Amino acid sequence: MLQLFLAAGNPINHVTDKNVVALTDEYNLTLHMVSLVVACFVGLFVLLISAKAIGTGKEDLGTPRYLTKGRLPQLVEVITLYLLENAIRPVLGHDADKFTPFLLSIFFFVLTCNLMGLIPIVDVQHLAGHFGMIDAHWALVGGTATSSLGVTLGLALFSFAAIQYQGFKSLGVKGWCHHLAGGAPLYLLPIMLPVELMGMIIKPVALAIRLFANMLAGHTLLAVVAGFGVTAWNLSTGNVLVTGSIELVAVVAAILISFLELFVAFLQAFIFMFLTTVFIGQMTHHHDDHSDAHGEEGIHDHDGLPDGLAKVKIT
């Protein structure tokens, strides 16, 4: 039965997208698409509940109206405050308020998708299919949507849009073009322009690939480790001690890696949001006196980070 949970033959199969229903000859509705929609509603449901709990209550409640009741809203509040105070405001400064809703939305959306991938929803559906309740080959929803490159590229498009919006808004068309030229002399423009244009696109693409690769790799690792137990079972050595030992090690390792995946789910959501924040911050004109490598006052250089995180380097 464990084979139902794990693709022992090829662990990658466990984490790749599956078709749910054919829409046209060319396009199919897939598990990750359905998961995206479910993650959207689950995330909104949690956030709406949290917003109600975090928001200030009626005046007749007295001081307790400022308190947040409920563990989930408190968790959302702690995360929100941390992101605001340690990532968004230090990097964006005065522009933080403008981008806060977008950045928090993208964080919680990615986080919800990542966390939903840790819940074995597909496996439960396959189990139901095994008992004849539904088609054993079919699942409607489940999997990690963010382990699909199409999904992460879609999210990265929003980051790209936000970065360029801030560039035009803060620097103006002239400043944006100057930034695109990298501040280099005109005779270097044929080199600098393609490089900067590529850099402009590579940044969000790197965001997408980083998120996709981390989520795919984590779940693949989990499938591989758990697959050891399945392989040992299938080999049927006859030696219960050997098979049992391998099964035990595989299960313990899978549990430990699941905890690691839980951490990675939060970490990757944070990194996606934080790097978007940093890229937006790099396109921000600062009204201070320091000049950067471009030689123009207030525009960040490509390697440096904005004010609050000048010494932080993200690799």
Residues that bind another protein (CB under 8 A): 3-4, 6-7, 9-10, 12-19, 23, 27-28, 30, 32-33, 36-37, 40, 43-44, 47-48, 50-52, 54-56, 63, 66, 68, 76-77, 80-81, 84, 100-102, 104-106, 108-109, 126, 136-139, 145, 147-151, 153-155, 157-158, 216
Q: Which residue, among 211, 224, 213, 228, has the nearest Cα to 273 in the 3D structure?
A: 211
Q: Which residue, among 46, 72, 266, 32, has the nearest Cα to 152 in the 3D structure?
A: 32
- Rounded CA separation 204/158 (Å): 9
Distance of closest approach, residue 117 Cβ to another protein, in angstroms? 14
Distance of closest approach, residue 159 Cβ to another protein, in angstroms? 11
Nearer CB in complex with another protein: 176/272: 272
Nearer CB in complex with another protein: 19/237: 19
Nearer CB in complex with another protein: 151/299: 151
Nearer CB in complex with another protein: 51/191: 51
Distance of closest approach, residue 249 Cβ to another protein, in angstroms? 23
The vertex-47 CA angle with 45 and 49, nearest 5°, equals 70
Residue with tokens 């998961």: 35
Nearer CB in complex with another protein: 52/94: 52
Distance of closest approach, residue 263 Cβ to another protein, in angstroms? 22
- Rounded CA separation 265/213 (Å): 12
Q: Which residue, among 113, 257, 278, 109, has the nearest Cα to 206 in the 3D structure?
A: 278
Distance of closest approach, residue 40 Cβ to another protein, in angstroms? 5
Nearer CB in complex with another protein: 26/289: 26
DSSP 301: P
Distance of closest approach, residue 182 Cβ to another protein, in angstroms? 30
CA separation, residue 156 to residues 152, 223, 267, 296 (Å):
6, 27, 17, 28
Nearer CB in complex with another protein: 277/300: 277
- Rounded CA separation 36/33 (Å): 5
Residue type, 309: L
Contact 242, 235 (CB under 8 A): no
Contact 225, 11 (CB under 8 A): no
Distance of closest approach, residue 240 Cβ to another protein, in angstroms? 27
- Rounded CA separation 179/5 (Å): 51
